Structure 1
Amino acid sequence: MEVELLTPPAPAPPAWAPPTTAAVHLGAPPLTPEQPARLTWRGLLAMAGFYMGFAVLYAGTIAYTAQDVQPDAFANYLRRVLLFDYPLKALWTLPVWWVFFRTPLERASWPLKLLAHAVVWPLWVGAWFVSYYGLLNWMGEATMSGNGRVWDVYIPALFYGVQFGVLHVHRFIQQLRHHNLLNQQLQAQAHASQMAALKAQINPHFLFNTLNSISASVPPELEGTRELIVRLAHTFRFALDASRHERLPLGDELQFLQSYLELEQARFGNRLRVSFEVDESLLSIPVPPMLVQPLVENAVRHGLAPAVQGGEVHVAARHLSSNQLKVIVADTGVGLPAGCTADTLLGSARGVGLRTTHQRLLALGSHGLHIEGNQPQGLVVSFVLPI
């Protein structure tokens, strides 16, 4: 539904405070995204060493128990283990590894992972057992019979638990190192933001008193100019107040956006058209402040300003799920330059505001900005924020 957002009354000028740790300054190093689990040569060699050690231990144990009746049992069992047994185990491990480390199951809770392992475990053992015995029979190799086959169920089941225990521990160590690196980068960004804030610090009372003086000096016939000055003062007040809070209601953020766009409309006139599409139930949801404004500013400055006919800026917010909020800023401007992609836009001078917002979203646990072309022209920038 269309929601009309009224300009709020001017709040009292807040005292200046440095940005929170979620703030990102362009002088700070960019956040390092978490790398997905992947197969590397180093990892494959480590797993090959693990398989080799387990194979030698298994063959040695069997040879020790059968040394009285089979003096050459170690060489025979080691050959079978290395040529048939463990290659098949590795083959059946690959799809299971992919399921647990390259799908959304990786980020599931541990009870859910254990439940999944409880289902996959017997399937993996059964697949190995059938393929192993089928291969040995095809090759004319002897196999265990009777109660002895229980060892070819127990040992693979034990091996499954050990190998995936090792893989999960290794992945946990990788994620722990990434989180430590991310914390260090966030601390560096917070420090850079605080230094930038101290360098750019101004006295809010001086600023608002000056704006009030200018407003009072405007003659009555220029009432429109006086209203613009008052609106500008309201905008500054919100920006300063936002620096004191980690989150503010979405409705306050949208009211600030409307004030900002009305200032821009005074400059662009009929060339700039604005629309909001926000469900009333979302207005009270707390969100990080000043997160949408850079997207709107980018749409106006780089999307609509170069277009002779101007265009429309459309801001929408909707529930994506029970715990996710999706915000969309779409414009009908000039769109991306020829040959420019979303990645290059985030790294260009035009994308400074977008890049800063993208880094803030990453720090907040979001996947960052999603940029795509609008139809018939323009740009759509959106993000999904955990509530």
Structure 2
Amino acid sequence: MLAPTGNRRSAVLYLLAWLLLGVALGGAIAAAFDARWVNAMIFAIPATVLYGVGAGFSAYYLCRAYPLAERSLAGVVTALGASAVVSALLWSALLEGWNTLGSALNVAWAGIDYTPSLKAVLFGLGVLLYGLLAAINYLATESERASSALQRELQSRLAAREAELRMLRTQIDPHFLFNSLNSISALTSQNPKGAREMTLQLASFFRLSLGVAEHAVIPLAQEMQLIRHFLAVEKVRFGDRLQLEEAIEPEAESCAVPPMLIQPLVENAVKHGIAGLPEGGKIRVAARRAGSQLRIVVDNAMDADGPAPRREGNGIGLANVRQRLAGSYGSEAAVHWGARDGVFVVEMTLPAQTGEESRK
């Protein structure tokens, strides 16, 4: 809100505005009431600046005491009108006293002919100036209130978005753990050594994933380390039937991605693609930076004669990735998928950013 003292710069500008107003008032008095310029300036400037300070504080606290959203219009108008009249009367008395003091000095440059018509004009001007100060304060108050409301709404939306992203991320680890424990259970009776190795690989994977759990984004290179650990777990079960091909361009490795973003896609590729092929197949992860965009492609072999993979997998995979991208980047990111000649392809585009500060 507008007040004579908010900070030093504002106070100086406020006083300068009233000083200029005092000069303008002195010039008007000299021109309209046939007063000497020096006398008119000495009469108008000091009292005008002092009125600006007093009326400024009065209007400021009046607006705080009578907010438009909480008081009736009649109450606000009554309080404002009474304060404006009292302030104008005090200003008139100040001007008259100042002029009397100047006239008493009996010098050529002090004192003017303070006629009743001039008193009436200055009284009316005092009322108008006070009303203008109050109007400016009310406008500033409403602007500040609207800005605060908008900020609270944005903070609420941000908190809701962050909560949704945390929920989506926490879905991933239990989902993967559930599938891995099922695999270990199946291997226990058939291949105890493989079950033990898979358990150790699973522990290594989760140990690494704990290091990135608290980060909003991680470098793509670190995400690929998670992918390799994940596939090391699955390779115990699939052996040579499961192959990984990486095509990550150096410029893309440092780009930031949400952690565990690609892992659900690779997991889907294993579960819905490689697992259904007796001879197994290859999973390919490619990434390249194209200007301001990072493009990531995950594809895998699939049974061309079998049923098409469901769009949501089992409720996590692709839908999770889409929601996380939308929550993190909005319309700047997109994900598309589909089957092409016996290969299931998932393509993602997102902003090519580096460093965790890019998400702050």
TM-score bracket relative to the smaller structure: 0.3 to 0.5
Larger Rg: 2
TM-score normalised by length of structure 1: 0.41
Structure of greater relative contact order (alpha carbons < 8 Å, 6+ residues apart):
1
